[in-house]
Copies of this chain bind each other. A is one copy, B any other.
Amino acid sequence: MYRSHTCGELRTGHIGLEVTLAGWIQTIRKFGSITFIDIRDRYGITQLVIGEELNEAINRSALGREFVIQAKGIVRERSNKNEHISTGEIEVGITSFETLNKSNTPPFTIQDDTDGGDDLRMKFRYLDLRRNELKKNLELRYAVNRAARNYLHEKGFMDIETPFLIKSTPEGARDFVVPSRMNTGQFYALPQSPQTFKQLLMVSGYDRYYQVVKCFRDEDLRADRQPEFTQIDCEMSFVKQEDILNMFEGMIKSIFLEVKGIDIKESVQRMTWEEAMWHYGNDKPDIRFGMKLLNIKSSYLKNGKITAEGELIAGSGFAVFDDAETVLAIAVPGAASYTRKQTDELTEWVKRPQIGMKGLVFIKCNTDGSYKSSVDKFFSEEKLKNIADACGAAAGDLVLILAGPEERTRKAISELRLEMGQRAGLRKKDDFKLLWVLDFPLFEYAEEENRWVARHHPFTSPKPEHIDIMIGNSPVIENASAYLQHPYAGIKANAYDMVLNGNEIGGGSIRIFQRDLQEKMFSALGMSKEEAQHKFGFLLGAFEYGAPPHGGIAFGFDRLCAILGGSESIRDFIAFPKNNSGRDVMLDAPSAIDGKQLDELGIKTV
């Protein structure tokens, strides 16, 4: 070794010891003939003190930031102790040193608050990774990986590797494909997930499987998507939904305890998909704060049931509400004091194209007991009070109301709720609220193709009580505009998502394990028998040889780490991420390849 100790290791107990350290120069300070060097490695920073006798050597070496040096010396007590670093009580009086490698001046400062822009830091990722923030992120990522593995191991799960060069069966997202040289004209696909393999492993009797595994999706990238991403992928046999929920609730709690030191004692809250949509306007509610949605048009969810309890807004002659398909309200705590300027700004906020609403109605529940609204002309104070009361607004709160087509309005108020929660400081990074969302719809309507697609994936089982609805009805949608009236729209799945602070961190289902039901599922998705056989014949075949009941879940490892690290961006938790065009700007990949390579593969670029 080039060192006897790391740069984070020395304490007062080492005083008097001769040591050798190696690392990077963080800072150099000269005080007359004495030079102080802070030397850094993964483990910490140690202060080196170099006396006048080495001055000439120092000058000759022309040391600078990020130079790699090896230094030998004696540990001694520091007069000016530094409480902020673990080695702050000592320093090393250097007797000799050597430059192991030089460094150019880095293109940005390697500090917590770096001056490097995004592009520069991506190009010099190996320097950005030296920054403390990214190092902490990768350390957290490793800790989560380790905690998950340890938990799953204790629960009898086995890590079994599944193949990366598989068959292309695009259903949903696009596959990345790999041309085969030995089978010219044919292609492998990279897995979007090991779904069918883990199911085969259940058929093979492995009972409990896990893998921390790369998956690939060739999608147009949004800000927070990567073409390659990592899943904690799990599957169990002989289980019902309740078993899976308990098992993986345990895993997440174990991760919180190991990684964050947070001991979550209570059970993870549960909510049906219907409840989530009604109360929060989306299927991954951030339950760190309330502000539940209320449909004040005609009906709302009360005590878990959709009820039509009379009209809160009817007969007021306010056409915007009367003509709207839906009218949704939230009560923002303590925001009655909003000024005209502030409510105008909020109105502009909901009118932005991303939100797409035509306007915003508000009711101020003043602390003096009066009610003021932007629609005073149409609503008496009593009516305003009734609405505010129904929303659960207290004195000092601000009720915000959006009206319009159901889907868009629901989405808009869900965004507005999150925004108001953010503004009110109710979405704290270090407040972690877990949630199970249950009973997802089995199908989703694909407008372009006017057909049903699997909401989760085609291997998800319908609720037993809904199987007959699926089998007994044709999937064909006669009237596209009334697709919600099709019997398939109401079929629920044995599917569940785990949500953390408004982010889906995991999702899974109890799977279909009978060949005939699986065939019916494929057929419901508009797949012909031949197509189903061609794509998934191996799975249908496997189901004929004693497939056990099974189910599983996959966690989005990148996102889980990001949220645990208090960040919105998964990119900061991946060592070598791609940019939004799917490029690795450090490597300059993808890139053109040799004509010879193309020839061997039997392909041509167009």
Contact = CB atoms under 8 A, between A and B. Distances in A.
Given A24-B546, A101-B513, A590 B180 contact: yes
Given A163-B576, A182-B581, A101 B547 contact: yes
Given A159-B145, A160-B575, A587-B538, A546 B68 contact: yes
A295 B238 CA distance: 64
Contact of A178 (B104, B142, B166, B178): B178
A198 to B, nearest CB: 10
Interface string A237-257: 011100100000000000000
A581 B180 CA distance: 10
Contact of A41 (B42, B162, B205, B545): B205
Contact of A604 (B546, B548, B603): B603
Interface stretch (A183-191, A319-327, A348-356, A490-498): A183-191
A197 B101 contact: no
Interface in A163-186: 163-168, 170, 174-186
Contact of A2 (B42, B146, B216, B239): B239
Contacts of A127: 204, 545
A2 B238 contact: yes
A589 interface: yes
Contact of A42 (B1, B205, B545, B584): B205
Interface residues of A, number: 124
Contacts of A68: 546-549
A424 interface: no
A601 interface: yes
Interface string A571-606: 000111010011110111111111001011111111
Interface of A: 1-3, 6, 22-24, 40-43, 66-68, 100-104, 106, 124-127, 129-130, 135, 138-139, 141-142, 145-146, 149, 153, 158-168, 170, 174-190, 197, 200-201, 203-208, 214, 216, 218, 220-221, 227-228, 230, 238-240, 243, 513-514, 537-538, 541-549, 574-576, 578, 581-584, 586-594, 597, 599-606
29 contacts: A2-B549, A68-B548, A101-B514, A101-B549, A104-B544, A106-B545, A141-B160, A142-B160, A145-B159, A162-B576, A163-B228, A163-B575, A165-B176, A165-B582, A166-B584, A166-B589, A170-B597, A174-B597, A177-B593, A177-B597, A178-B178, A179-B603, A182-B221, A183-B590, A187-B592, A197-B576, A603-B604, A604-B604, A604-B605
